[in-house]
Amino acid sequence: YADTAMYQVKEKGRDSIEFFNEEMADKVSRQLVMEGDLHRALEEGQFELYYQPKMDVISSRVVGAEALLRWKHPTKGMVSPVDFIPVLETSGMIIDVGQWVLEDACKTLVKWSEQGLWHEGMKLSINISPRQFRRAAFVQDVIDTIERFPIPPNSLDMEITEGIVIQRVEDAIATMTLLSDKGISFSLDDFGTGYSSISYLKRLPVSTLKIDQGFVRDIIVDRNDRVLVETIITMGNLLDMELVAEGVEEAEQLAILKAFGCHFYQGYLFSMPVELAVFESILRTDQQRILEPA
């Protein structure tokens, strides 16, 4: 196969080889520049967590939030995690940045509980990269961190993807079990896009399935997606798991999800991910609603 590729390159002549090299060199140099910028970002406090409310489908109350990483670049403005998380992962910097995310989330949980904004049963989810999760010291580092911050019991949730689990199921179960014992729950993120084998699902200490937004997006127009979403919800309910639909933008999507038996949702329909102060005002408003029901 490699010989064939080489042959094709040769056929096209020297120009194409140089073009190919230049393009690769360009990519590598852009990556290196970004790595430098990301190091500085961590040192200079350019990272910030945004919060997207997680809503109860039936009562429309806030049941928690997902913390999503933002990079406020001094000249480029807000950089999307889609653009820099892969660089953090390949460079290994995700370990330090992931630790920052965990600590910042814990600090915020402590503050919210002190201010009476966080109630029993509410959960803050953070996203965990494969590289973080598979590290031998991951469990101990997390335990050390949550012991330094007196977070409310059972208030922290970790979102991982199926890919993390499938490669080394036994190791994943061991890691998750140790952390579950400390009150941390687990959600499977982007569910439906991976392998989704029911046999291993049953064995994992996972409490929540997050239905990928790709399926939710076309739930009204695409019958296949609708059937798939209904199947995931039915299966999740049979396995006693909580179901969160991601990327809900329209009331009609929410109505379908509700009819299928989905419990929770996140999406622009209620709120985009917002900065800390804005999320806190959402929490206050939500509490006001219980004290003074309409």
Instruction: Enumerate binding residues for Mg ion (CB under 5 A).
Output: 127, 159, 189-190, 246
Spatial separation of the C-alpha atoms in residues 223 and 93, rounded to whole Å: 41
Contact of 67 with 101, CB cutoff 8 Å: yes
- Kindly state whether residue 190 participates in binding ligand C2E, applying the rule CB under 6 A: yes
Q: How far is the CB of 274 from ligand C2E (least distance, A)?
A: 10
- Kindly state whether residue 247 participates in binding ligand C2E, applying the rule CB under 6 A: yes
Nearer to ligand C2E, 159 or 225 (CB): 159
DSSP characters over 131-174:
HHHTSTTHHHHHHHHHHHTTPPTT-EEEEEEHHHHHHTHHHHHH
Indicate the SS3 state at residue 270: coil
Site string for ligand C2E, 45-84 (x = CB under 6 A): -------x---------------xx----------xxx--
Q: 267 contacts which partner out of ligand C2E, Mg ion, none, CB within 5 to 8 A by kind?
A: ligand C2E
Q: How many CB atoms lie within 10 A of CB 4?
A: 8
- Kindly state whether residue 236 participates in binding ligand C2E, applying the rule CB under 6 A: no
Q: How many CB atoms lie within 10 A of CB 248?
A: 27
Give the tokens for residue 207: 């409490």
Which residues in the 99-138 window bind ligand C2E by CB under 6 A?
Answer: 101, 126-129
Which positions touch ligand C2E (CB under 6 A)?
52, 68-69, 80-82, 85, 101, 126-129, 159, 189-190, 213, 246-249, 266-268, 273
